[in-house]
Structure 1
Amino acid sequence: MSDDPAVTNPEFYSVVFENDRVRVLEYLDQPGDRTAPHSHPDSVMITLSAFVRRISAAGQEVRVELPAGQARWLDAQQHAGENIGDTRTHSIFVELKEPKPGAETAAVLGPRR
């Protein structure tokens, strides 16, 4: 079973660009929409709209509220998400295809600066 978000939730994720080093996804949902569990490699997330979401993985949940126009780092992770706000979520993910150099570290759930 694939954990690629473009496969698990093609109604929300679409591939807008891809080459041998990066893949760019567009994400768009409405209030109340939920994603199936999926994974992202190390990525940069750019918010095109303000939103409030709940991200969950392995019994852990975080609330994410971001304004439009933010660029945030997203450690490689597997999670599911839910739009818990009253606006749509519209974001771009720039997924890196090259592995992180050095030792493995614990990922932070959700975006961070």
Structure 2
Amino acid sequence: MSADPIAVNPELYRVIFENERVRVLEYRDEPGDRTQPHHHPDSVLYPLTSFRRRISANGQQVEVALTVGQVRWVGAQEHAGENIGDTETHALFIELKEPPPTRTPAALGPSTR
């Protein structure tokens, strides 16, 4: 089982809402901060600030630049991240607890689908 972001990065993530169907996490970091590897189920990412990050998993890396309000889908994945910009990252993750109707491989990092 992969690590829960709350357990491995408690200084960066906090639960702001949870019920039997969803969990909402608030994420905050500063330029240069890194997360330990952790897992997210299928989620919706809602940026509250604009930011740049490097997402890494399984020898792959992607750089992501999102602006405030640029909502993205994040398919279930394990990754680590690093704030590579010059601004704070502040975002909400809305994690789904229900299994997807069909399982398809997720792209690393956020996507528009």
| Structure 2 CA distance for aligned equivalents of residues 15 and 105 of structure 1 | 27
8 A Cα contact 1:41 1:95, kept in partner: yes
CA RMSD of aligned residues (A): 1.0
Percent of residue pairs identical: 65
* 1:52-108 CA-partner distances (Å, limit 9, x unpaired): 000000000000001111111000000000000000000000000001112x32110
List aligned pairs for 1:21-60, cutoff 5 A: 21-60=21-60
List aligned pairs for 1:44-83, cutoff 5 A: 44-83=44-83
TM-score (norm 1): 0.96
Corresponding residue number in structure 2 for 1:84: 84
- Structure 1 residue ranges, 4+ long, deviating more than 3 angstroms after superposition: none
Unaligned residue ranges in structure 2 (runs of 5+): none
Corresponding residue number in structure 2 for 1:110: 109
SS of 1:56's partner is strand
| Structure 2 CA distance for aligned equivalents of residues 52 and 22 of structure 1 | 26
Aligned length: 112
SS of 2:24's partner is strand
Unaligned residue ranges in structure 1 (runs of 5+): none
Deviation at 1:2, TM superposition (A): 5.8
Corresponding residue number in structure 2 for 1:101: 101
8 A Cα contact 2:47 2:68, kept in partner: yes
SS of 2:7's partner is helix
